[in-house]
Amino acid sequence: GVVDDQPTSASARALTPARLCFLPKADFRRVVEQSDRIGRIVNGNLLRFLVGRLRGKDKEVDLIILEDR
């Protein structure tokens, strides 16, 4: 992956015709490092995504704990 150099765990499929752009990992990292504005946007979006995933997992754990009682 772009963030942690581990194999990607997701895929995507367009539902309608789409034009895609490929940006190699090294180029992506260079853009993020060289542009403060782009870096803040990317990091902010990543943080919001990760926080959302973490909150979802917290809810799953709460349900498992409640079921065991």
What pLDDT, on the 0 to 100 scale, is given for residue 5? 84
Region 3-9: mean pLDDT is 82
What pLDDT, on the 0 to 100 scale, is given for residue 9? 77
Q: What is the chain's percent helix, strand, coil content, to nearest 5?
A: 60, 0, 40
What pLDDT, on the 0 to 100 scale, is given for residue 60? 81
What pLDDT, on the 0 to 100 scale, is given for residue 58? 85
What pLDDT, on the 0 to 100 scale, is given for residue 67? 76
**How far is it, in rounded angstroms, from Cα 20 to Cα 14?**
10
**How far is it, in rounded angstroms, from Cα 6 to Cα 14?**
24
Name the one residue in this structure whose structure tokens are 């803040």.
40
CB 13 within 8 A of CB 20: no
pLDDT digits (tens, 9 = 90+) for 12-69: 899 999 999 989 999 999 999 999 999 999 999 999 999 999 988 888 887 787 777 6
